[in-house]
Amino acid sequence: MNATPSRDKIKIGVMVQLVQKQDQRTGNLTEGIVKRILTSSNFHPHGIKVELDNGKIGRVQNIITQYTNEDR
């Protein structure tokens, strides 16, 4: 399995794929835009916990876009 992105790679406004707590067994991924970063450390073995703009919370598995809306 690939390493999950570290906190310094995850920015507000970036589109990510995350796994919600109820999907940990299946590995089902949810896509969304990061609204808030909840994990304070730079790394977590299961992924950095974030809240998406739709209110869903989970641990980031992949970053889809590297640019925030402010960078465009």
Question: Which among 68, 61, 66, 67 has a CA at the least distance from the CA of 5?
Answer: 61
pTM of the predicted model as reported, rounded to 2 decimal places: 0.87
Domain count for the chain:
1
What CATH number has the domain bearing residue 52? 2.30.30
Residue-range definition of the domain harbouring residue 12: 7-66
Which burial class, exposed, middle or buried, applies to 54 when counting CB atoms under 10 A from its CB (0-12, 13-18, 19+)? Answer: exposed
Give mean pLDDT, residues 51-68.
91
pLDDT at 70: 56
pLDDT, tens digit, for every residue of 33-56?
999 999 999 999 999 999 999 999
Domain-embedded: residue 1:
no
| Position 2 in a domain | no
Would residue 27 count as lying in a domain?
Answer: yes
pLDDT at 69 over 70: no
Q: Residue 71 falls within a domain, yes or no?
A: no
